[in-house]
Amino acid sequence: MTFDLKTALKFIILFLIGIGVLYLAFRGQDLEKIWQEIKTANYFWVIISAVAVLIAHVLRALRWRMLYQSIHYDVDFWHAYHAVMIGYLANLALPRFGEIGRCSVIRKAAKVPMFASIGTVITERLFDVVMLFLTSLAMLIFQYDIVADFLYQTIYLNLAKKLNAVNYWWLVGFSAVILLLIVVSIYFLRQKFGKKFLRIFVSLRQGFGSYSKLKKKGLFLTYTLGIWAFYLLSMYFAFSSIPSTSDLHLNAAFTAIVFSGFAMAAPVQGGIGVFHWMVAQSLVLYGISFKDGLAYSTIIHSSQFLLILVLGSLSLFFILTKRDVSILKADHTTR
C-alpha cells in the first residue's frame, strides 16, 4: 500500500470527519471546566490505566505469535510485539493501515509471506469481533434497564428513519454490481497472474487456517479474554482519575468498553471524536453529566494515544535500526 495522492485524500477526509465529530461532541460544553477537570486529574490512575492497556497489547502479541507457530513460522515475541505497536502507530495516521503495516514488519523481520500474515491478522480480528458481540450481548442481558432507552431513542429510531429513506431497489442493484465486479476482478487476476495469484490464495488460506491448527486453543482463548479484561480494567482504573467518575463501578466500565469498541471500529484515525462521544454517552447512562464524560474520555483517549505514540515510535526505531544493522552485517560478510 503506497501513500499516494488517493491515500492522502482518504487520510484528510477521515481526519476531518473525526475532527467534525469531536467538534459536535464538545459544542455547547463548558470547555474551561472540562480543561480544569483534566488538569487536576489524579495521574497515578491514568498511568495505571495505561499500563493495563499495555498489558493487553503484550497479550495481543503473544496471541498473534501462536497463530504463526501453528503454521510453522518462527516469529519471536519481540518481533510480534514491535509489529503490533507499529501497527497501532500506523492506525493513528490512517485507519486499518496498521494491519498491513504490522504484516509488513513481520515479512521483513521473520520472512513470513505477506498474505499468510494478513490471513492471521484477519483470523485474530474475527475473535475480537466475536468478543465485541458477546460483551454487547452481555450488556443487553444484564443491563437492559440502563441501556434500553438509549438504544431505542438514539440508535433504533435514527437507524429506522434512515432505512425508511433507502431505495432498496437501488441497494440491490448496487450490491449486484459490486458482487459482479469482485467476480470479474478475481477472474482477470487469475488469468493475468496465474501461479502468482494461486500462491496468494494458498498463503491467505494458510493464514486463515492458523487457528484450526493450534495445539493450545485454550491458551489462545485465554489470551483473548485477557486482552478484553485488561481493556475493561483500563476503563475502570481511569474512573478514579477525576472526582466526577470516581464512584462508578465495574458495570459502568463494562458498558463503556462496549461503546468504545464500536467507536474504535469506526474508520477514523484512532477513533478521534467518535470515541469521545460514545464513551461520554455511555457514562451519561450512569448519571454522569455529558461534560464530565467528555473530560473522562479525553483523559483516557489521550493517555492511550501517548502510549502508542511513544512505544510505537520506539518499536519503529528498533525495527529500522535492527534492519540497518542486518544490512551492514550482510554487506560485511559478502566482502
Instruction: Say what the pLDDT of residue 331 is.
Output: 45
CA distance 58 to 53: 9
Alpha-carbon span 110 to 71, nearest angstrom = 13
* Residue 236, pLDDT above cutoff 80: yes
For residue 221, pLDDT over 60 is answered with: yes
Q: What is the pLDDT of residues 10-29, one digit of tens each?
A: 556 655 665 666 666 666 66
Tell me the average pLDDT of the chain. Answer: 81
C-alpha span between 308 and 314 (Å, rounded): 10
pLDDT tens-digit series, residues 120-134 = 998 999 999 999 999
Cα distances (Å, whole numbers) of residue 48 to 143, 230, 278, 308, 335: 27, 11, 22, 15, 51
The residue written with cell numbers 481511569 in the block is 238
How many helices and strands, by DSSP H and E, does the chain display?
14, 0
d(CA 80, CA 60): 9
The arithmetic mean of pLDDT across residues 205-230, rounded, is: 89
Round to whole Å and give the CA distance between 47 and 177.
Answer: 50
- Judge whether 292 and 58 are in contact, CB under 8 Å: no
> Model confidence over 47-60: pLDDT tens digits?
999 999 999 999 99
pTM of the model: 0.79
Average pLDDT over residues 326-332: 45
C-alpha distances in Å from residue 315, one per residue of 13, 56, 205? 28, 16, 29
